Amino acid sequence: MGVTTALALPEQTEDPGLDESPDPTRPWETVVWNDPVNLMSYVVRVFREYFGFSAAKANERMLAVHHDGHAVVAEGPREQMELHAQAMHDYGLWATVRRAGS
Q: Provide the pLDDT for residue 1.
A: 54
The number of folded domains in the chain is 1
Nearest Cα neighbor of 24 from 90, 83, 99, 87 is 99
Q: What confidence score (pLDDT) does residue 12 get?
A: 47
pLDDT at 26: 87
Residues whose CB falls within 8 Å of the CB of residue 71, separated by 6 or more in sequence, listed in order: 31, 32, 61, 62, 64, 65
- Which residues, at least 6 apart from 40, have a Cβ–Cβ distance to it below 8 Å? 62, 63, 66
- Asked whether residue 65 is domain-assigned, the answer is yes
pTM, rounded to two decimals: 0.76
Amino acid at 4: T
| Domain housing 54 | 28-99
pLDDT band per the 50, 70, 90 thresholds, residue 9: very low
- Amino acid at site 65: V
34-56 per-position pLDDT tens digit: 999 999 999 999 999 999 999 99
Q: Residue 39: inside a domain, yes or no?
A: yes
Looking at residue 2, what is its pLDDT? 55
Q: Quick check: is 34 in a domain?
A: yes
Q: Supply the CATH number for residue 51's domain.
A: 3.30.1390.10
